[in-house]
Amino acid sequence: MSERIQQPNWVAAMFQNAVISIKVARHTTFAQLAEKLIALADIHGQMVHPVHVRIAIAHSSRSGYQSSHHAAD
């Protein structure tokens, strides 16, 4: 059985002055992520679009899903 390489967790956000995509550490909380986005907004201007979050999950033989994609306002 081949072992799958786990994809990194990442967040993409569009601000007034920049589009930023960052890798997120595995045990980062949503509160920590919110703090990071607030700090980035202070530098790059208000967020103008939803934030896209990609969280890798462990592969299960019962599920064909390896990652979850969500958009948050």
Residue 26: pLDDT band with limits 50, 70, 90: confident
Q: Is residue 2 part of a domain?
A: no
Q: Is residue 55 part of a domain?
A: yes
Question: How much is the pLDDT for 8?
Answer: 84
Give the total number of structural domains in the chain: 1
At 70, is the secondary structure helix, strand, or coil? strand
Residue 4: pLDDT band with limits 50, 70, 90: low
Task: Kindly report, residue by residue over 34-64, the tens digit of the pLDDT.
Answer: 999 999 999 999 988 888 888 887 665 554 4
Question: How much is the pLDDT for 62?
Answer: 52
Q: Is residue 35 part of a domain?
A: yes
| Distance (Å) of CA 20 to CA 62, 63, 70 | 34, 31, 17
Domain span including residue 33: 9-72
Q: Is residue 38 part of a domain?
A: yes
Q: Is residue 26 part of a domain?
A: yes
Distance spanning both ends of the chain, measured CA to CA? 40
Instruction: Reply yes or no on whether the pLDDT at 2 is more than 60.
Output: no
